[in-house]
Structure 1
């Protein structure tokens, strides 16, 4: 009898524990459907953006993302992003992406860039904010002079 009680207690403890990993949570399909379509980054803002440079997504200076085009396909969580800022300091870049929105309101992004999605083991977790039919924001955390600050990417529907 003690053995059965111990197994029951052990199974309850195992079932009761769940992962709190941001990448393992359930999807927010309703929000994903709202993001479906073509978008442009209208602005990038962070405290000190007038005089500091930030390398966004390990690709380019954050200002190069203004005017970039993004497409999101909600039924397979794939898409594409393309940097096309005409500034002479910005390089063009285009890549397939995978993405999803979890129940905690986080936008999880992988930039694939000539790899299979399963082979890319780095990505970005951004806070999704102010979602409407025509706009939304992605907020990332950056380190500025030892202080954590928010960088906000504002998207507008094309």
Structure 2
């Protein structure tokens, strides 16, 4: 009797708990990924107060340093690269791994040489908007002066 109560309890707990959906859902939006595939350049970075305030993007450099940066997205293996090459800004390049999920979020990690993506614990979640043949935008939420605002990276196809 005691054993059947325990089994019934475990059965109830197991089937009544539903896994939580997260923003990093891996249900892919293949159509958007294929549209983003290719070589891109960030033509502008904007957020409220961007003419007066500095915001560090991706823990790398000032957001404005990303203007002119070059990005490559490969959709069949969700790999790519980026190159930061603006004057008066730190030079930086990295391989990336990325995907776009059905909720419209791009999940992206900057990879360290010799370290696999699955061993890279931090990454970024950005909203993908206005995707077309020649441009798209990635939108990040950042803290500017104690207020969360949208920081928009405007990409144009190279």
- TM-score, with normalisation over the residues of structure 1? 0.89
CA drift of 1:133 comes to 0.7
Counterpart in 2 of 1:98? Answer: 97
List aligned pairs for 1:34-113, cutoff 5 A: 34-85=35-86, 87-88=87-88, 90-113=89-112
User: Post-superposition, which runs of at least 4 consecutive aligned residues in structure 1 deviate over 2 A?
Assistant: 2-14
CA drift of 1:109 comes to 0.5
CA RMSD of aligned residues (A): 1.8
List runs of 5+ in structure 1 lacking aligned partners.
none
List runs of 5+ in structure 2 lacking aligned partners.
none
User: Deviation digits for residues 86-120 of structure 1, max 9, x if unmatched?
Assistant: x22x0111100000000100010100032321221
How many pairs were matched up?
153
Counterpart in 1 of 2:16? Answer: 13
SS, match of residue 63 in structure 1: helix
SS, match of residue 156 in structure 2: strand
CA 12–134 in structure 1, closer or farther in 2 if over 3 Å, else same: same
SS, match of residue 50 in structure 2: coil
Return the alpha-carbon distance in structure 2 between the equivalents of residues 19 and 54 of structure 1. Answer: 32
List aligned pairs for 1:103-142, cutoff 5 A: 103-114=102-113, 115-142=115-142
Return the alpha-carbon distance in structure 2 between the equivalents of residues 22 and 149 of structure 1. Answer: 19
